[in-house]
Structure formats: structure tokens, C-alpha cells
Structure 1
Amino acid sequence: MNCIIWNTGGANNAEFKRHCKAMIEMHKPIILALLETRMGDHNKLAEDLGFSNKIQYPTVGTSRGLVIMWNDHNISINDINISPQGIHTTVHVSNPPSYWYFSAIYVSNHFQDKKVLWNQLTDLSDTINNDLQIAWLVGGDFNEILSSFEKFGRNNFNSTRASHFWDCINQSNLIDLGFRESKFT
């Protein structure tokens, strides 16, 4: 079972759609989450990519835009909470049967907004973690780093911001899965 979570940096152009269709054909995801689409409505995009259902949050000004897409034949998704920084859902898969939580995240660059999401994730985890049998997949662009070795560029590492992020991960009982390939992508 594959899920794709992609920070598109804009999804309303032919080149993106061509690359996305190729990725869908190769990986055959049951769920496609697109972040920072910069689109107010994702109806046509979902149709063009071959998905029958979606949960979306439109752009805020000229940025953001989140959408989770799927098809009905093997899965149903219900929204729990939708905000500018994330879409939180329950996922029911019919074959093989499973039930789990999914959060597609695109975190603001503003520290105060990040703290709001960190609190939201911690609160949501209290609900999810009450039943240890249910998994929770959280993925996306957190626009934050956990340690100085994840940093490249001229801005200094901010240990206070990293500490807030670590607290969120730990209090939410999340596990950082790390990365493959280039760590700066």
C-alpha cells in the first residue's frame, strides 16, 4: 500500500501534472497528498490525476493549498480536522482490512503558527494514542529542523525552535523515520 506526500511548490501547470501522472503510474498510491499547491480548488486537478475523491484546504493568498486524493474502490477517508497547516483524517482500507489515522502537514514558516500546529498535533495524539492498536501516519513539510546537522545555509540553527519541534514529536509519540538520498531536499 503506497501513499505519496509531495510538496509541489505549485501544482497548476502541465509539467507538474505530467510528472505527477508518471509517479502515480509507477507507484500506484492509494492516497496522494499534495502540499503547497497554490490552488484555491483542486477539483480539476483530482480529475486530471484520476482520483474520484478529495479533501482540500485552498490557498491562503498566493501560498499554501493542501489536498488529499483517493479513489473509492478500496478505501474511504473521513476528515477529522482541516486547517491551513494540515489535513487530519481517518483511513479505512477494505482489502486488506485496516483502519488508521493520516495527517498531511505543511507548516508555516512563522514560529507562532508552528507552535499552534505543534499543540494541535499533541492534542490530536491524545485521542489517537488512547487506542494503541491504531496507527498514525504523519508526513509532509514541517519547515523545521531537529538538529544543526540538518542545516545548510547562512541562517543559524535555532535550538529553541528545534526544542519545541522535539517536544511535539515526543509528546505525540511520533517517530522520525529519517530520509534517504540527499538530506537537504
Structure 2
Amino acid sequence: MDHSPTTDQAPPGPLDFLEFATARGGQLYKTAYLLTGGDRHLAEDLVQEALSRMFVRWKRLSRLENPAGYAQTVLVNTFLSLRRRRSSREQATFEFPEVAVTDADPALRLTLLRALQQLPAPDRAVLVLRFWEDRSIEETATILGLSSTAVRSRSHRALGRLRARLGDSFTERLQAQPR
């Protein structure tokens, strides 16, 4: 009988989590930025909160088939629960800090962000996951804990609300943009 030590992989530790957070942090921030309607500071807070929730359970979570997908779910759920708890003491602003933008039309981007910010949080979450993150209906449903039918319905209604906020002239301008 062989009693030599086994060479199994070491259990996941803080270094593994640091690598994960470094690799996925940028994508999580982009999603959080859109979910918060362009609030950079709140986006950073959301990412930090989501990653801290994952760190506490990292030993178990690192064994998941898709920890990155789980991180997205934690981020979106953190955002939605924050929106439910948020008091009226904070006011949204329509003034955005000047940042370097590589878009062909920065006014278009700001208009879209403002319109997205005016949507209810669940609508915004569906639109960000479906169209910005380019996730399937099934993936979005899993992340949000909804049925596929609910995601389709909410997407349809949210796009209608977004179009109504933007108006016909904006839709024509958007269609005229080079692709």
C-alpha cells in the first residue's frame, strides 16, 4: 500500500480569487456602469460588493463550472437589491463628468445613457444583459431568476419605453449612423 503524499491540486485560495477578480473586474465594471446609468462611483461600489460576496465563498464558488457567470448574477442581484433598498436621499444627476470618449458621436452615447438611466432598474438590467452583454434570453433569465418568457416580455416593454423616451427623431438619427 502506497502512503506517499498525493499530488492533487491545492485547494483554491486568495491568489486564485485575485486572478479571477483581475481577469473579470473590467467586464463586471462595464456591466455595472451601464446598470447604474453611468454612475462610475456606484458602479465601482457594485463591483466591489459583488466581488466581496464571492470572496467569502470562493472556496466553494471556484469549483463551479462558470464562476464568471455566477459573478454576473451576483452583480445584477446586488444592483437590484440596492435599488430596492435605496432611500430618496440620493438624487440622480443628468450631468456627466467629461471623459475621453472614442465614440463617433458622444452626444448619441450620452443620450442613450440618460434614457437608459430613466428606465426602472429591472428593465435596465434586462436591456444591459441582453443587448450590451449580448447574452441569450436563457442566460439573462438565469441571471435574473426569471423565466425566458418574462425576459422576452420585459425586453419588449423596456425597448418600447426606451424608444418612447428617445422619440422618432432620435431613432432616425440612430439609423443614419454608420455601422
TM-score by length of 2: 0.30
- Higher helix content, 1 or 2: 2
- Higher strand content, 1 or 2: 1
Query: Considering only CA atoms, is the larger Rg found in Structure 1 or Structure 2?
Result: 2
TM-score by length of 1: 0.30
Higher relative contact order structure (alpha carbons within 8 Å, sequence separation ≥ 6): 2
